[in-house]
Amino acid sequence: LQRGRRGGERDRGGRGRGGGEKPFDDTPGVKATTSGYAGGKERNPTYDQVSRHKTHHLEAVRVDYDPAVVSYEQLLAVYYRNVDPTRSDGQFCDTGPQYRPAVFVGSPAEKAAAEAAAAAAEASEAFGRGKKIRVEVIPAAEFWAAEDYHQDFYKTNTALYKFYRANCGRDRYLDAVWGTDAEGFKAQDVPEALMQRVEFGKKKSAAAAAAAAAAQ
């Protein structure tokens, strides 16, 4: 999670399957979210490069918010309520270094807040008795917006988004930890989810082909 310019922005790693924007968009005081990549030195990374581990980026979400309405600490709480912070190798069915949980910090105060949130989460044992919190606290890095078809995934592919949450075990995990299953994927959503998956695949292939052509 990384905040950029005061007013303010922050990114968090461990997004996975377009799952990072909605909880923040639903938070009062959040003005906008952007899916993207952070933490790598390579410039202009693409989804294909990141997913094939050709860069060192994490998938991340930039959160643009009004600090007069919602605090940095409150956004950290939103983050912890929507990830499995005990994993260092990915999130739910998304495995790989690009999915590992992380908070990108831009000041000593943010670093202290992120470390305090991790310590509090571990001490609470909400995520399991004796479980270690594996969320990395990383100095703020340049953020690169992801391809257009990744933005607002939960809005443009609603059924597919719900399917991923349910099928990947995210909803089951959050329900076990927090007692809530907000997305409620239903059997009647399957046909629409499948169609959206096909269309999403076409967009991803087209974007990869365009990136490859541009690199030549």
Q: How confident is the model at residue 103 (pLDDT cuts 50, 70, 90)?
A: very high
- H or E element that contains 137: strand 136-139
According to the model, what pLDDT value does residue 162 have? 87
pTM score, whole prediction: 0.79
> Quick one: which of 173, 167, 170 has its CA closest to 187?
167
Q: What is the Cα–Cα distance from 206 to 200, expressed in whole angstroms?
A: 10
Q: Is 119 exposed, middle or buried (0-12, 13-18, 19+ CB in 10 A)?
A: exposed
Q: Phi, psi at residue 111, to the nearest 5°?
A: -60, -45
Q: What is the pLDDT of residues 162-207, one digit of tens each?
A: 888 888 888 889 888 888 644 554 545 555 655 665 676 777 788 7
According to the model, what pLDDT value does residue 5 have? 41
Q: What is the pLDDT of residues 108-121, one digit of tens each?
A: 999 999 999 999 99
According to the model, what pLDDT value does residue 43 have? 95
According to the model, what pLDDT value does residue 35 have? 95
Contact criterion met (CB below 8 Å) for 129 and 97: no
Distances (CA, A) of 193 to 4, 74, 108, 150, 161: 34, 32, 43, 16, 8
pLDDT at residue 123 tops 90: yes
- Residue 38's DSSP bridge partners are 58, 143
- H or E element that contains 143: strand 143-145
According to the model, what pLDDT value does residue 10 have? 60
Greater confidence (5 vs 53) lies with 53
Distances (CA, A) of 195 to 35, 155, 169, 187, 192: 22, 15, 21, 14, 5
Strands 30-38, 143-145: pairing is antiparallel
According to the model, what pLDDT value does residue 71 have? 94
